[in-house]
Chain A
Amino acid sequence: EVQLVESGGGLVQAGGSLKLSCAASGFTFSTSAIHWVRQASGKGLEWVGRIRTIPNNYATTYAASVKGRFTISRDDSKNTAYLLMNSLKTEDTAVYYCARRGRYSGSSAFDYWGRGVLVTVPS
């Protein structure tokens, strides 16, 4: 069974840092791109960024709202992806999900999602 489990969320002051983890199981982690998506309370989904696989040089892409502050990485030996968040702002408060890019030709469809982890940056 495919599973993605996020961890590392919590309360962090503005300007601080936090590192989220996304532990994967039930599939060959190294062959799947991993995306991070967030959702502020009562709001819609916002894509945060992604990390591709080793054939694509672990390339990363970020949303404009987090570029330069957030860094996505992965450790295929541990089946885990990470989201390092620096210079956190109050507007970064959200539930953060990691998701797997599915195997749909020509499509970045996320076929499995974690349950999410809450990050709170109080004002």
Chain B
Amino acid sequence: QSLLTQPPSVSGTPGQRVTISCSGSSSNIGSNTVNWYHQLPGTAPKLLIASNNQRPSGVPDRFSGSKSGTSASLAISGLQSEDEADYYCAAWDDSLNGHYVFGSGTKVTVL
């Protein structure tokens, strides 16, 4: 069971805004920055958001991240068909001598 909890699925219609939540604890999100990755079927994960809200070069500004306390969220505005993928939050966790943790993953479906 992951230390970071995400909803299993989120769906929306094209153009809609959807958000994905990521709930953690004081040892991970509460103490460290949050990163978001997305993964298309059969491909490697790709960095979407770094350090809570930084978009790497090439990531559309439709994607935005935020963090508050021990929770974080990813927002996708202007949902597009190509956004249909699995999304994972992640953060360093300071417990057990430190380790990286991924969220349980959220499947985004574009209706």
Residues of A within 8 A of B (CB): 35, 37, 44-47, 50, 61-64, 97, 99, 102, 104-111, 113-116
Contacts and interface: CB of A to CB of B under 8 A. Distances in A.
A47 B54 CA distance: 22
Interface of B: 2, 32-33, 35, 37, 39, 43-47, 50-51, 54, 56, 86, 88, 90, 92, 96-105
Secondary structure of the B side of the interface?
Answer: strand
Given A35-B100, A47-B101, A109-B35, A102 B47 contact: yes
Contacts of B39: 45
B50 A109 contact: yes
Given A45-B45, A104-B33, A113-B46, 19 more contacts: A37-B102, A44-B102, A44-B103, A45-B39, A47-B99, A62-B99, A64-B99, A97-B45, A102-B47, A102-B50, A105-B51, A107-B33, A107-B35, A107-B50, A108-B32, A108-B35, A108-B92, A111-B50, A114-B44
A48 to B, nearest CB: 9
B36 to A, nearest CB: 9
